[in-house]
């Protein structure tokens, strides 16, 4: 067992011990340890050449129930509408009028939507490899992306340049999981006017 794996195992034991105490005062410490665990999981997975879920700095964070609708044109753009996390808004809003945002995934080549939710998220293939709940990720060493490129290599007009910069996004919500292969994503607030959103800060 290498040093990184040993450190990861020790952190998991410390985290479980804190959870077992069920003390509110331990919550911030436990969350810090949990984030350290996720960071080590990503580092170890990448070093082993395995798939790894790295956090993606999503400009306008979503609320846990989030994904409201998906529109996919079949090849180039995926549009996702979702409710914004109110803690990241510049001013309070009425609960019955949630603020919405739209994410547009550019040059989207594939889409995968499942009802894998928070109750079964620990059975996700990327669980234990950096995957977090209700967050946006980019998958390193993506098997899905590799397999799709392999298929397209059989096309007589295949051009490797078309696949340069392609990313495997995985978005975990409370009630579902959305994955897509795209080159970039842009987000914007839909309504109402006068609101601004601050991005979630990522830990180094």
CB 53 within 8 A of CB 42: yes
Between 112 and 66, the more confident residue is: 112
Question: Residues 85-123, buried b or exposed e (16+ Cβ, 10 A)?
Answer: beebbeeeeeeeeebbbbbbbebbbbbeeeebeeeebee
Range of the domain at 161: 50-191
Instruction: Tell whether 137 and 166 lie within a shared domain.
Output: yes
Residue 175 within a domain: yes
Residue 35 within a domain: yes
Instruction: Tell whether 159 and 65 lie within a shared domain.
Output: yes
Average pLDDT over residues 123-143: 93
pLDDT > 90 fraction of the chain, expressed in percent and rounded = 40
Using the predicted structure, report yes or no on whether residue 65 has a pLDDT greater than 90. no
91-104 pLDDT per residue, tens = 665 555 778 899 99
Residue 114 within a domain: yes
145-169 pLDDT per residue, tens = 999 999 989 988 888 888 899 999 9
Would the pTM of this model clear 0.85, i.e. be above it? Answer: no
Instruction: Tell whether 132 and 164 lie within a shared domain.
Output: yes
The average confidence (pLDDT) of the chain is: 84
């Amino acid at each position: 067992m290498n040093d990184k794996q040993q450190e990861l195992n020790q952190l998991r034991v410390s985290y479980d011990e804190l959870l077992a105490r069920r003390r509110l005062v331990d919550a911030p410490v436990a969350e810090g340890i949990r984030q350290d665990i996720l960071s080590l999981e990503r580092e170890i997975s990448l070093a082993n050449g395995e798939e790894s879920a790295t956090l993606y700095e999503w400009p306008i964070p979503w609320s846990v129930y989030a994904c409201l609708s998906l529109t996919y044109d079949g090849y180039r753009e995926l549009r996702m509408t979702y409710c914004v996390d109110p803690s990241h808004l510049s001013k309070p809003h009425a609960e019955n009028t949630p603020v919405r945002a739209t994410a547009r995934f550019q040059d989207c080549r594939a889409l995968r939507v499942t009802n894998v939710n928070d109750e079964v998220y620990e059975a996700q293939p990327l669980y234990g490899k950096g995957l977090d709940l209700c967050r946006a990720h980019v998958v390193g060493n993506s098997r899905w992306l590799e397999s799709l490129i392999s298929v397209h290599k059989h096309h007589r007009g295949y051009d490797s340049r078309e696949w340069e910069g392609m990313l495997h996004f995985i978005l975990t919500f409370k009630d579902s999981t959305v994955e897509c292969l795209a080159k970039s994503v842009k987000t914007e607030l839909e309504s109402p006017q006068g609101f601004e959103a601050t991005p979630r800060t990522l830990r180094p």
